[in-house]
Structure 1
């Protein structure tokens, strides 16, 4: 049963109306919603989350003027599935978009943009879609095919045309978003705008104006960069190692005619999209680095460190453009008198590894990829500021937006509205555990299938399919998840308790991939 909060003027009036079907007479002010989502932007690369490396003043502005969620997580750490969870408010087992390799999103199913349309909202999505089917439930949309290209990208329009635009993709997506707000919407109606960036996805190609940034920075390797994965065979079997799997040409731009790699042709196709000026600026910057790299002929830990430094610099340069463009959106909203009546949300489709465990990419249920940044600047009627520490998940966005809009929240939505938390309430019955399930195997990076449960202190993971392996972590003592406690006698009561909670969540979400706690004890 879900309740709905109505805001009138500067005061919040709470109506306990029961189930959604009894809320037909509910009325609320029509707040706008601007939802900005990036790809693979991790919290440890945002200064508002304490990053010692990245400076993100415009993202910090959202956090400083609003709220920062410190325990925000995804249900399936992979781009397409994460987006499906966000749109539907349901886990992958319910929305049926399990992975990026075998699934097409059923665009006929219920999504929060469709429900907002019924409530009188204009809806728009601009940028990365990555769900294979075309968008539905939007009055306006313009999306990039697949992953999109950083330079002079293609866009698919509502007329089902594919057009190429000239420029850098983060700028272009923001241009279109601002243009829609300024010129294409009905300004007498509330709106929900989804701004979905390609950045900061692999292969981290920075805008030419930012190429020279951060070259003077040296980044310390994470303490577990040379993780030996003892007691964690699934972690050992991955193919997302900076040392072994990060491509020198595709990822790190060390292109030379006599050098080859599996992804060389793909990288060359990206360069081929550039105009003469863009390519000249690119080559002017990278040519000396390429020459110096091959001259050094690095190997072993020296090569590993070199790859890590280039990765970090490229990633940060891509973040810089993203942060600048978030600032453009905030400035537009403020200049046009929209900021105080708009919920501004910034998040990513999942977290990312910045060398932790020696990795890049995501997928695992470990903290760096399951955890995702989530900051919000609230409308003026909300007074909540600072950190929100409750366990939240990306399935919660849909019911939050619907409740904010005064729209009914269907009972089959699995997420919980964050509105009580945004009002400063401390609900006694707030969830104590989160469910996670990753399905994409075998596939790129070869992360094995697994599901699990995370509480405030503990995490239990079960790797299955071609493996049967359990892992247990005490996050207060081992935040880096280096020491698997499963099977240790003193932790058996905790493991059994977490298995019961895991079974409960699998039944609650009707996930057919289940285990039997009783059988496992045999």
Structure 2
């Protein structure tokens, strides 16, 4: 072999080795995202979560083909604060949207879709934002949204952040989903995408799609265990809980448990059908398995526990919501995880999957390390809850609390101060308030300190 041949051979081999190194070093393809959010959907309003009345086959399919978190919580059970938390990865006391009165996320606060855009994603929003300005002050590649609560029938919606709010014929969530599917099918880009589909349902007051007029007609809604509990005769329940203005029968549109729950469920049947439409569109486009699909809600809802409806309070029906994640490239089908995750974790999870660094300003943690199901993976043992809208709708007083796997401690911090303490293992229905009992004083002190630590860790400006 001549020297010339040797040099040529070595050059070719070097090129092969360099190419191989580049292949090995290449980043894996980034997933697309579809992020579904409902409004007021409690954790067990899904057939995959054990509901025997409501059937949600399309949503159940996400769980069957992915991961269902059974202990997913919101850190402020109210629409605007919770949605701002999903978008910012921050607690209410940091992003500033503490209640439904001050709904504006500060323009200086980075939100998830804008961070994704900076990392090369196309982002689209379809549906209900429930923040001031309806997210029209933010950058979107496609926008189809409405202000405020919107109407179930003949809703007024704008296409484009500068578009006109125009009445649309049909049922709100059908229309929103139709535009989302249309955008998916018509987009012409090699970029990965993130599509937010945020439904109106099942928010009060509940109006069914006409096709569901007779659903549940012959079904009886069972009363929860505490429906007939005598609140006045239970000294363990504080006045802050007893005096909340959220009792079934006291409102014209919530006259009975049976009536409102059936309507609530019927609106979720429409949601389920629309989730199926998006799933089918992704499948048709051959994007399904390249897309991480997340499904969650902004808060839970009482279904007659203590004869109550609505949310706000730091009790399980109010704070627990669904979280399903389907992404077969990283999640085995049919996984169920009972570790405590919260809505501050959603933005970090999406950014982690997208290969983007989570900003230090975010309080949450990526759930990606939990996808493999290893119970030895370090994870939180407690989380912070806060609620601020008082005086306000339903007269729920301001409170904070801490929840662990076993204990829940609630502090109504406006005068007169009151407290609740529950052993969730022995008392999952939160019937027996243990606060003030000498044998639980040490537990109270531990939880009180944990609450303080969590507030410090998340830079709560209200700390004295």
| Alignment-derived partner of residue 239 in structure 1 | 245
| Alignment-derived partner of residue 456 in structure 1 | 405
Aligned partner of residue 71 in structure 1, secondary structure: strand
Deviations 1:244-275 (A, max 9, x none): 2x31xxx26xxxxxxxxxxxxxxxxxxxxxxx
Contact 1:384 1:423 in 2 (8 A): no
| Alignment-derived partner of residue 364 in structure 1 | 313
1:309 and 1:134 mapped to 2: Cα distance? 33
- Kindly indicate whether residue 411 of structure 2 is the aligned counterpart of residue 408 of structure 1: no
Deviations 1:472-507 (A, max 9, x none): 000011111111101101111111111111110011
Residue from 315, 340, 347 that aligns with 1:391: 340
2:356 and 2:295 mapped to 1: Cα distance? 22
Give the CA RMSD over aligned residues: 1.6
Residue from 451, 467, 491 that aligns with 2:440: 491
Gaps of 5+ in 1: 1-24, 253-303, 516-522
Between the two proteins, the alignment pairs up a number of residues equal to 433
TM superposition score normalised by structure 2: 0.90
1:180 and 1:44 mapped to 2: Cα distance? 31
| Alignment-derived partner of residue 290 in structure 1 | none
* Superposition pairs of residues 169-180 of structure 1, within 5 angstroms: 169-180=172-183
**Aligned-pair CA distance for 1:161:** 1.5
* Superposition pairs of residues 133-144 of structure 1, within 5 angstroms: 133-135=133-135, 136-144=138-146
Residue from 371, 394, 405 that aligns with 1:422: 371
1:31 and 1:468 mapped to 2: Cα distance? 48
**Aligned-pair CA distance for 1:195:** 0.2
1:308 and 1:424 mapped to 2: Cα distance? 38
Gaps of 5+ in 2: 1-24
**Aligned-pair CA distance for 1:411:** 1.3
**Aligned-pair CA distance for 1:427:** 5.1
**Aligned-pair CA distance for 1:108:** 3.7
**Aligned-pair CA distance for 1:428:** 4.1
| Alignment-derived partner of residue 65 in structure 2 | 65
Contact 2:409 2:447 in 1 (8 A): yes
Aligned partner of residue 51 in structure 1, secondary structure: coil
Contact 2:67 2:331 in 1 (8 A): no
**Aligned-pair CA distance for 1:213:** 1.0
- Kindly indicate whether residue 94 of structure 2 is the aligned counterpart of residue 98 of structure 1: no
Larger of the two Rg values belongs to structure: 2
| Alignment-derived partner of residue 472 in structure 1 | 421
| Alignment-derived partner of residue 11 in structure 2 | none
**Aligned-pair CA distance for 1:226:** 2.2
1:442 and 1:510 mapped to 2: Cα distance? 25
- Kindly indicate whether residue 105 of structure 2 is the aligned counterpart of residue 156 of structure 1: no
Contact 2:66 2:331 in 1 (8 A): no
**Aligned-pair CA distance for 1:426:** 3.7
2:205 and 2:393 mapped to 1: Cα distance? 15
**Aligned-pair CA distance for 1:438:** 0.4
Aligned partner of residue 185 in structure 2, secondary structure: helix
Contact 1:339 1:379 in 2 (8 A): no
Q: 1:107 to 1:180 in 2, by over 3 A?
A: farther
1:340 and 1:175 mapped to 2: Cα distance? 21
Aligned partner of residue 48 in structure 2, secondary structure: helix
